[in-house]
């Protein structure tokens, strides 16, 4: 039976096949074009293509697609409600990250605890990315057209003068952090103050219902024992070596 590290390497290497260069390229690093990504998800009937934060869903779609292409029989999609994982001997949750604070948001605390319990732990693949944004709103207008027009919630926000979130137009995977958490690691992380289990508590959804609290953590705060490796996708090799010498 492979170790979590060995299985994570299979998944990340499969994703690297089409979206990584290791920084060693004379051409342009591969960006994921938002319009192409949304249309592909829409055609595949993959949930999330209509969401403002479409990239978070697309990275899950890409991981499932890479596993299907390069790891047939070894990894399979594992979908539960809005969660889209891949599963081999272990369960893996791809998470999109493109913020300067390197804060990773996981799922609903109660649901996540149940998933971890049923699967004997969970692997988290943090897909750290560079993004470009839709500052002239051309992309937003196109996206709304694909959905058949703005939702009542979006129209209500505009009428009330509330700011519209700026959408991502494309992204490029910079590097991937592979973690594995045993059943009690996140609960203990709350006690040890490297995991927050109160994110979004008290906030409301678009329909006015209360949101459940979610887990979140900061990349730099995770204990070394939980980090399996970091893989360079499109970072400068020398800079990556300076920051992650043990993983080069």
Each domain of the chain, given as residue ranges in start order, spans 4-247
Q: What band does 149 get if pLDDT is binned at 50, 70 and 90? A: low
Matching residue, tokens 């300076």: 242
Contact 58, 48 (CB under 8 A): yes
Model pLDDT, residue 204: 64
Judge whether residue 76 has pLDDT over 90. Answer: yes
Q: What percent of the chain stands above pLDDT 70?
A: 90
Q: What whole-number distance in Å separates Cα of residue 227 and Cα of residue 104?
A: 14
DSSP state, residue 6 = H
Judge whether residue 218 has pLDDT over 70. Answer: yes
Q: What whole-number distance in Å separates Cα of residue 145 and Cα of residue 153?
A: 15
Q: What band does 82 get if pLDDT is binned at 50, 70 and 90? A: confident
Judge whether residue 118 has pLDDT over 90. Answer: yes
**216 is written with which tokens?**
């979140």
- Taking CB atoms within 8 Å and a gap of at least 24, the contacts of 23-30 are 23/232, 23/234, 23/235, 23/236, 23/237, 23/240, 24/237, 29/172, 29/234, 30/172, 30/234
For the entire predicted model, the pTM comes to 0.92
Matching residue, tokens 């958490």: 181
Average of pLDDT values for 54-61?
97
Average of pLDDT values for 131-160?
78
Model pLDDT, residue 203: 67
């Amino acid at each position: 039976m492979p170790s979590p590290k060995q299985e994570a390497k299979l998944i990340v290497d499969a994703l690297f096949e089409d979206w990584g260069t290791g920084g060693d390229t004379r051409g342009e690093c591969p960006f994921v074009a938002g319009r192409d990504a949304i249309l592909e998800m829409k055609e595949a009937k993959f949930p999330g293509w209509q969401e403002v934060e479409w990239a978070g869903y697309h990275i899950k779609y890409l991981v499932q697609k890479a596993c299907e292409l390069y790891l047939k029989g070894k990894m399979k999609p594992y979908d539960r409600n809005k969660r889209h994982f891949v599963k081999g001997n272990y369960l893996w949750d791809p998470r999109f990250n493109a913020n300067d604070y390197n804060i990773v948001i996981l799922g609903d605390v109660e649901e996540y605890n149940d998933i971890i319990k049923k699967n004997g732990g969970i692997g988290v693949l943090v897909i750290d990315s560079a993004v470009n944004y839709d500052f002239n709103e051309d992309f937003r207008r196109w996206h709304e057209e694909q959905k058949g027009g703005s939702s009542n919630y979006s129209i209500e926000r505009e009428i009330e003068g509330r700011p519209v979130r700026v959408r991502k137009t494309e992204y490029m995977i910079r590097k991937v952090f592979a973690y594995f958490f045993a059943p009690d690691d996140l609960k203990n992380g709350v006690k040890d103050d490297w995991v927050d289990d109160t994110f979004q508590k008290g906030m409301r959804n678009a329909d006015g219902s209360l949101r459940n609290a979610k887990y979140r953590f900061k990349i730099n705060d995770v204990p070394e024992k939980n980090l399996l490796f970091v893989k360079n996708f499109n970072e400068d090799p020398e800079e990556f070596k300076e920051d992650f010498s043990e993983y080069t």
